[in-house]
Amino acid sequence: MSERRRSPVEPESIEPHMCSLDLRLEIIGKLPFFEGLPPAEIERINQSFREIGYQPGETIFFTGDPAVRLYVVASGKVKLMRHTFTGQDILVDILTPGDVFGSLSTLGDETYPNTAQAQTMVCALAINAEDFRRILATYPTVALKVLDMTSARLNEAQEMVRRLSAHSVEQRIAYTLLKLAEKLGEPQDVGLLIQMPLSREDLAGMTGTTTATASRVISQLQRDGLINSGRQWVAITDVEALREIAEGVGAH
Amino acid sequence: MSERRRSPVEPESIEPHMCSLDLRLEIIGKLPFFEGLPPAEIERINQSFREIGYQPGETIFFTGDPAVRLYVVASGKVKLMRHTFTGQDILVDILTPGDVFGSLSTLGDETYPNTAQAQTMVCALAINAEDFRRILATYPTVALKVLDMTSARLNEAQEMVRRLSAHSVEQRIAYTLLKLAEKLGEPQDVGLLIQMPLSREDLAGMTGTTTATASRVISQLQRDGLINSGRQWVAITDVEALREIAEGVGAH
DNA sequence: CGCTGCCTTGATCTTCTTCAAAACGTGTGG
DNA sequence: CCACACGTTTTGAAGAAGATCAAGGCAGCG
C-alpha cells in the first residue's frame, strides 16, 4: 500500500480527430441503430447531423432547457444526472458510444428532464428532434432499434428502482460496480478496470447514498480484496465474490 | 372516525362485456397509438390480437417466463412488479388502458423482466411479439407513438430513481399518491379518490419501504387532514399540502 | 360468531446520515 | 526536486430515520 500507482484510467483526451469530419460517416454507420442501412442512406442521414465536441466536465444541456435536439454519443462518456433541491446530484445513467440522449419524445415534454454532462472528452452528434422523427418515420428498422434501446434502458431503470428499494448500500455499490465494469471494463494488471474517472461522489450519486458512506464501503471491499481502487478509479479483482454480495447471497 | 365507510373504490368487476368481441374494434381504435389510423387498417390489425380476461389477483406472466407476447391493457389495472430474493415485491408501475407491457424488445431479453398481475378485473389484448413488430414496421406513426410512450415511462422510472435516492419515506409516499391520483383520481365526497384497490403493502412496494412504515405515514397524513383512507383505498383531501410535502418545501 | 386478512402501534435495534477533522494525492509554481 | 494548495478520500462520533419483531384491533365474510 506504500506505493500506490497513479490512476490507470487512460485520459482519452488526445484524440482530436475523433470529432473530425473525416470519420463522421464511419461513426454514424457504426451506430447500432443505423447498422444494416445501405451506405447511400447513411450518407443522406449524415447530412442532418452535426458534431459537437465537449471538454470533460462541460455541460451539454441542463434540466429544464428547451428540448430541441437529440444527441448520439460518438466517442467518450456522458453522464445523465438529475438535480435535487438539496443540491445533491443523482447520477441516473452513463452513456457510451452509440447511446442516444436528449429529446426523444417530441410530443411529450418540451424540456429536458435530465442534465447531460461530459465525463470525458466527448464527441456527440446532434440532430434536430423533428429531423430525427422524420428519419424514424422513413426507416422503420431504425425506429424499431431505437425502441429496443429505449425499452432496454427502461428495463434497467426499473431494475435500479428495485435495487434502491430492497438492497443495502453495500449491495447497491457492488451491483453498480459490476454494471459499470460490464459497460466499461478493461482487464489490466490492477484488475478489471472501470475505464472512466469515477469519484466516490459519482458512486454515491448512482447508489443513492453519501460520499462518506460510499467511501466506507469501498474501503471495506478493498480490505476484503474484492476490488482495487484509488483516486477517481476502481478496478474489480474478484468479480464472483462481488456478484455474490450484489445478489445478496449470504447476507440480506 | 366512529363510522368509517366501506371502500369507495368501485369494484369494476361486473362488466363482462368489456372483453367481448363486440367492443374490440372500438377498444383497439381508441388505443393511443392506433389513433388516427384508417378504420380499414385497424380492422386488419385487429385480426392479430386476441383478448384475454383476468380476475383480480391473477398473474398474467411471471418474471423469467419466456417473453413471447406483447399485451395492451384494454380495461382495468395491471401492476408490474419485480421480486426480490427476500420475497418482497417491488411495485414498479401501474398500467391503465392503453398501456403496453410484456415483450417490447424481441431482440433483447428472451424472458419477461417483470411480473404482471391483474389488480382489478382486466381485459388485455395480446399479440405475438413478432406480429407486433411487423405492425410497427408497417406503420411508422404507430412506432413513433409507442416510442413516445416508452420514453415517457423511462423518464418516470428515472424520476423514481431520483426520488428513492434523495427523499424521505413521507415525501415518497406523498409523491406516489399524487402520481396515482393523476392517473386514477376521481373526485368524490371523501376527496380525490384513487380509483383502485391499494393496500399498505402496495404502497410500501411502490415507495421502497415496509408496510409498517407506510402505515405510520398514512396515519400521520390522515391525522393532519391531508388524506382520507381506509382498508385498500386512499383519497386525497388536500392536494396542495401533499404536493408541498412531496417537493420537500420546509423539511428535507 | 368466529375466521381471515389488513391495518395499527409500540419497543428495540440496525443502518445510514450528518458533521467535522484529518490524511492523502495530484498538479503547480517556485 | 521540493513545498504548497486544492480537491478527494478516509475516518470518527453522535444522531436520526427507518427496519424488524411482535401484539393487538378492526373490517368483512362465511
Q: Which pLDDT score, from 0 to 100, does residue A251 have?
A: 43
Residue A103 is which amino acid? S
Is B160 within 8 Å of A161 when comparing Cβ atoms? Answer: yes
pLDDT in tens, A222-245: 999 999 999 999 999 999 999 999
Which B positions 64-123 lie with beta carbon below 8 A of chain A?
Answer: 80, 82, 84-86, 88, 90, 92-93, 104-105, 107-109, 113-114
Which B positions 141-200 lie with beta carbon below 8 A of chain A?
Answer: 141, 143-144, 146-148, 150-155, 157-162, 164-167
- Average pLDDT over chain A reads 85
pLDDT at A5 over 60: no
What residues of B are in contact with residue A208 (Cβ under 8 Å)? 161, 164-166
Kindly determine whether the C-beta of residue B89 is less than 7 Å away from any atom of nucleic acid strand C. no
- Average pLDDT over chain B reads 86
How far in angstroms lies nucleotide D10's C1' from the CA of residue A214?
11
Q: Which pLDDT score, from 0 to 100, does residue A1 have?
A: 40
Q: Contact A193/A5 with Cβ under 8 angstroms? A: no
| Distance in angstroms (rounded) separating the CA atoms of residues A208 and A206 | 6
**CB-CB neighbours of B228 under 10 Å:** 22
DSSP 3-state of B6: coil
| Distance in angstroms (rounded) separating the CA atoms of residues A119 and A69 | 20
CA contacts within 13 A on the Cβ side of A141? 8
Q: What 8-state DSSP symbol labels residue A212? A: H
DSSP 3-state of B54: strand
Shortest Cα–Cα distance, B208 to chain A (Å): 4
Q: Which pLDDT score, from 0 to 100, does residue B103 have?
A: 82
Q: Which contacts of A79-83 are long-range, i.e. CB under 8 A and separated by 24 or more positions? A: A79/A116, A79/A117, A79/A119, A79/A202, A80/A114, A80/A115, A80/A116, A80/B158, A81/A114, A81/A115, A81/A116, A81/A117, A81/A205, A82/A113, A82/A114, A82/A115, A82/B158, A82/B159, A82/B161, A82/B162, A83/A115
Listed range (A223-232, B87-96, B230-239) with the worst mean pLDDT: B87-96
pLDDT in tens, A63-78: 889 999 999 988 888 9
pTM as predicted: 0.86
Length of chain A: 252
pLDDT in tens, A146-156: 888 888 888 98
Residues 6 or more apart whose CB falls under 8 angstroms from that of A24 comprise A46, A49, A51, A74, A125
pLDDT at B179 over 90: yes
Q: Which pLDDT score, from 0 to 100, does residue B123 have?
A: 87
Q: Which pLDDT score, from 0 to 100, does residue B37 have?
A: 84
DSSP 3-state of B22: coil
pLDDT in tens, A174-233: 999 999 999 999 999 889 999 999 999 999 999 999 999 999 999 999 999 999 999 999
A28 pLDDT band, cuts 50/70/90, is confident
Report, as an integer, the average pLDDT of B220-242.
Answer: 96
Nearest C-alpha in A relative to B153: A154
Is A154 within 8 Å of B152 when comparing Cβ atoms? Answer: no
Strand residue runs (E) in B21-106 = 50-54, 59-61, 69-75, 78-83, 89-95, 100-102
Shortest Cα–Cα distance, A180 to chain B (Å): 17
How far in angstroms lies nucleotide C8's C1' from the CA of residue B238?
23
Q: Contact B204/B211 with Cβ under 8 angstroms? A: yes
Q: Which pLDDT score, from 0 to 100, does residue B218 have?
A: 97
Residue A87: exposure state from Cβ atoms within 10 A (0-12, 13-18, ≥19): exposed
Q: Which pLDDT score, from 0 to 100, does residue A2 have?
A: 37
Q: Contact A89/A83 with Cβ under 8 angstroms? A: yes
pLDDT at B175 over 60: yes
Report, as an integer, the average pLDDT of A91-118.
Answer: 83
Q: Which pLDDT score, from 0 to 100, does residue B109 have?
A: 64
Retrieve residue A103's grid coordinates. Answer: 429529446
Q: Which pLDDT score, from 0 to 100, does residue A8 have?
A: 83
Torsion of CA B245, B250, B251, B252, to 10 degrees: 90
pLDDT at B250 over 80: no
Distances (CA, A) of A127 to A50, A54, B96: 7, 16, 33
Is A147 within 8 Å of B86 when comparing Cβ atoms? Answer: no
Q: Contact A79/A66 with Cβ under 8 angstroms? A: no
Distances (CA, A) of B36 to B41, B51, B142: 10, 22, 10
Q: Which pLDDT score, from 0 to 100, does residue B71 have?
A: 93
DSSP A129-147: HHHHHHHHHH-HHHHHHHH
CA contacts within 13 A on the Cβ side of B166? 24
**CB-CB neighbours of B68 under 10 Å:** 16
Q: Which pLDDT score, from 0 to 100, does residue A22 have?
A: 60
DSSP B111-180: B-SSEEEESSSEEEEEEEHHHHHHHHHH-HHHHHHHHHHHHHHHHHHHHHHHHHHHS-HHHHHHHHHHHH
pLDDT at B78 over 60: yes
Q: Contact B183/B94 with Cβ under 8 angstroms? A: yes
Nucleotides of C under 7 A from a protein CB: 6-10, 15-20, 24-27
Residue A186 is which amino acid? E
B182 pLDDT band, cuts 50/70/90, is very high
Listed range (A117-126, B32-41, B222-231) with the worst mean pLDDT: B32-41
Phi, psi (rounded to 5 degrees) for A103:
-90, 100
pLDDT at B246 over 50: yes
pLDDT in tens, B100-140: 899 876 555 689 989 999 988 888 999 998 888 888 999 89
pLDDT in tens, B200-212: 999 999 999 999 9
DSSP 3-state of A186: strand
| Distance in angstroms (rounded) separating the CA atoms of residues A132 and A31 | 14
Q: Contact B235/B190 with Cβ under 8 angstroms? A: yes
Kindly determine whether the C-beta of residue B48 is less than 7 Å away from any atom of nucleic acid strand C. no
Q: Contact A141/B137 with Cβ under 8 angstroms? A: yes
Q: Which pLDDT score, from 0 to 100, does residue A65 have?
A: 92
